[in-house]
Amino acid sequence: MDGQSTKRVPLWRSLRVKYAITYLTLIAAVLVLLNTYPVRTSQQMVFQTKQVSLQSQAALMASALAGPDGLSAEGVARVMEVLGDTGLSRVLVTGASGEVLYDSDPAGNTLGKYILIVEVVQALRGEDFFRSDYTDGVFHSRSAAPVTYRGMTIGAVYAAEYDAEQGRLLVGLQQTLQRISAAVAVGALLLSLVFSSALTRRLGQLLAAFRTVREGEYSHRVKMSGRDEVSRLAGEFNELTGRLQTTEEVRRRFVSDASHELKTPLASIRLLTDSILQTENMDPGTVREFVGDIGEEAERLQRITEKLLTLTRLDAGAPHETVPVEVSRVARRVEHMLSPLARAGEIHLSLELEEGLFIEGSEDDLYQILFNLVENAIKYNLPGGQVTLRTRGEVDKVILSVEDTGVGIPEEDIGKVFDRFYRVDKARSRAAGGTGLGLSIVRDTVRRYGGTVEAQRREGEGTRFVVTFPRLDTGKEAGQA
């Protein structure tokens, strides 16, 4: 895992290369199409116009020659003269056996000779012929038509044309397309380089940030502009790192607070044992007193460690089974358990319960929550004070409140009392056997069952803790419980 993330990605596997290859392949495909399709189509169009014009010219000459005395050398010469300049590169007229009667190119030296080229042979068979090629920027087209008189083929007309003009246009088109393609290819290459290196740079930044945070530097954040997926990823990463940082800070504080809390009773125990050991002939009464103190400190250590264990279990979020729990039953158990403590502190503890309220949870956990709240209400109260535990049902929730007329919590501390080891009055808490963990356990347990807890300052004096749980639909569940 370690090696995997620190090694550089080989170039051929890198996103950058994959991205560039895809991009360039697409562009290449488009360019190949751009360089073939329009040229082919234009060529085809030229062939078609050539066919139409050349065939009609050949047919026109053939029909002009068809006549009773059409195919004598003089007759042909006369007709050709009348027809004037055809614009063709070569015109041949042959008799029925293929002997040349007229040649527009005197240098060809074909007059009187038999010319049995495929075009003429096909025309002498009575069929039209056309063929056109495009080579080296020139359109070379040939056409032949039979000369018929009274249903008989009496000769053939052969017409050829070299068209370099159209060829030039086509070559021009081809060159323009090639220039455009070259420009597009260079542009695409540059763009793909720019984009892919930007992408790699940003991903690299993100990877480096992952590494830094992995090394334990939780305060590190990635700065990334833009609103694309990579920026979103960076945002999520920063958020996650922020949470990690908070969790880490909480953990560190917890460990340091816990060690501190454990250190104090341990130091007292050391001091007391040292005194006993170092004082010779200590009178038995003092020894008893010291050993009693040691016992108290040990008890305190036990309380703290038990609560720490409870919190660790809650942190781990161990799987828990839930059952329908009847709230008033648990409230009565708590009152029963704590009324001696209330009596000892001259505090009046009363219940105001709505019957038939159920929540989904565990009876022990609900007991623990109410016990902690009511115990605090008694501990931080004054002689003659009042503590009231109320339960009330709403459509979809159950509200439990513990009210007291005690010392109260100052405004600035009210939000912090649920923090681990937080105590408003350390001395008082310590004297009452407090650990500063009770309310943290309450909050974590309440949350575990989807509830909320909040501390409120009461008008006048005292405090009110309000716990809300989702209400369990009664009926069936009530019957089972």
Q: Closer to ligand ADP by CB, 112 or 433: give it.
A: 433
H-type helices in 144-228, by residue range? Answer: 164-214
- Residues 319-338 within binding reach of ligand ADP (CB under 6 A): none
Closer CB to ligand ADP, residue 55 or residue 372?
Answer: 372
CB of 142 or CB of 300, closer to ligand ADP: 300
Cα–Cα separations (whole angstroms), residue 468 to 187, 394, 452, 463: 65, 10, 5, 17
Which residue from 27, 417, 446, 472 is in contact with ligand ADP, where contact means CB under 6 A?
Answer: 417
| Segment 383 to 412, residues that bind ligand ADP, using CB under 6 A | 404, 406-409
Structure-token match 């010392």, residue found: 407
Contact between 439 and ligand ADP by CB under 6 A: the answer reads yes
Q: For residue 98, give the DSSP letter.
A: -
User: What's the closest the beta carbon of residue 386 comes to ligand ADP, in angstroms?
Assistant: 12
Rg (CA), the chain: 52
CB of 448 to ligand ADP, least distance (A): 17
Q: Give the DSSP letter of residue 458.
A: P
State in angstroms the smallest separation of the CB of 395 from ligand ADP: 29
**CA separation for the pair 348, 346 (Å, rounded):** 7
User: Do 477 and 325 meet the contact criterion of CB atoms below 8 Å apart?
Assistant: no
Question: Stretches 42-50, 221-229, 352-360, 438-446: which one binds ligand ADP (CB under 6 A)?
Answer: 438-446
Of 453, 456, 360, whose CA–CA distance to 403 is shortest?
Answer: 456
- The helix/strand/coil state of 104 is coil
String of contacts with ligand ADP for each residue 440-479, x by CB under 6 A: x----------------------x----------------
**In this structure, what is the dihedral angle of CA atoms 394, 396, 402, 405, given to the nearest 10 degrees?**
-50
> Which residues are paired to 57 by β-bridges?
none
- 280 or 412: CB nearest ligand ADP: 412
Q: What are phi and psi of 464, to 5 degrees?
A: -130, 125
Is residue 366 packed enough to be buried (19+ CB in 10 Å), middle (13-18) or exposed (0-12)? Answer: buried
* Stretch of 103-111, 222-230, 345-353, 432-440 lying at the interface with ligand ADP (CB under 6 A): 432-440
Shortest Å, Cβ 254 to ligand ADP: 14
Q: How far is the CB of 376 from ligand ADP (least distance, A)?
A: 3
Of positions 377, 400, 453, 467, contacts ligand ADP by CB under 6 A? 377
- Among all chains, which residue has been given the structure tokens 């991205």? 19
Q: Is residue 380 within the footprint of ligand ADP (CB under 6 A)?
A: yes
Residues 443, 386 contacting (CB under 8 angstroms): no
**Which residues would be at the binding site for ligand ADP (CB under 6 A)?**
372, 376-377, 380, 404, 406-409, 417, 422-425, 429, 434-440, 463
